[in-house]
Amino acid sequence: MKQKKCRGSACPELAGARQKAIEIGQTAEQYAARLEKAEQELLTDPLTGAYNLRGLETKFREEAGRARRHKLGLCMLFIDVDNFGRFNKEHGQETGDLVLKAIVEAVKQKLRAYDSVHRLGGEEFVVLLPETPSAEVAAIVAERMRKRIEELELQSHNGDGPLKVTVSIGVAALGPADGLRELIDKANQAERRAKDSGKNATFIFSDNGIVPGDERLAGQRAAR
């Protein structure tokens, strides 16, 4: 006697095979999602949500290679929170943590989709700005960030406030022979000059030395 063929959903074997395939597909997707999440966590600072140093190393390799291949500019901002140790001592570490989170959010508001902010540690951050032709252009972005942070009115963890905070920023552009360490060093030198100038300022590492990057100090320099 000829066995009757089953078709479509009426066939238990086909229906079972289809369900198994769906389950395998879902499992693969779930695994890929978990793997992606784990990789992302390895590159991210758990407190602020900014990328960490490992994330910076990864991002720099990608962007420096692209900048050199396509002759595109790549700039870095080195951001340090002014008087943060004293701030923590006066208001407590919990409030300090809230401040760091607020600063990262303020910085992200001024970034393009392909820019990135990274926490080096403590109150130090760097921002990578791909496709930015010069340090002078990057300084315009830095000034927007500095002013936005200066405008923040923050609350302490127990509701006290408003609390004010400022940052000093150093700006540098990727040179022909620069690796990540050299670029960080140049931006950090400019940031230290911003600190020495009285803080809450932006300075640029340039071929002519370290010069003011914000309008107030640039005007003072021109007047000398």
- Residues contacting residue 167 through CB under 8 Å, at least 6 positions apart: 79, 80, 81, 82, 103, 145, 146, 149, 200
Residue 214 is assigned to a structural domain of this protein? yes
- Token code pair at residue 80: 């340090």
24 and 77 in a single domain? The answer is no
Which residues does the chain have with pLDDT short of 50? 219-224
Residue 48 is assigned to a structural domain of this protein? no
175-187: pLDDT as tens digits: 999 999 999 999 9
The per-residue pLDDT for 32 is 56
The per-residue pLDDT for 222 is 44
34 and 75 in a single domain? The answer is no
Q: Which of 29, 36, 63, 123 is catalytic?
A: 123
Whether residue 123 lies in the annotated active site = yes
C-alpha 134/C-alpha 172 separation (Å) is 8
- Collapsing DSSP to helix, strand or coil, 151 comes out as helix
Residue span of the structural domain in which 85 resides: 53-223
The per-residue pLDDT for 117 is 98
The per-residue pLDDT for 64 is 97
Residue 58 is assigned to a structural domain of this protein? yes
How many domains, the chain?
Answer: 2
26 and 99 in a single domain? The answer is no
Tell me the Ramachandran region of residue 51: left when phi exceeds 0, alpha when psi lies from -120 to 50, beta otherwise: beta
31 and 64 in a single domain? The answer is no
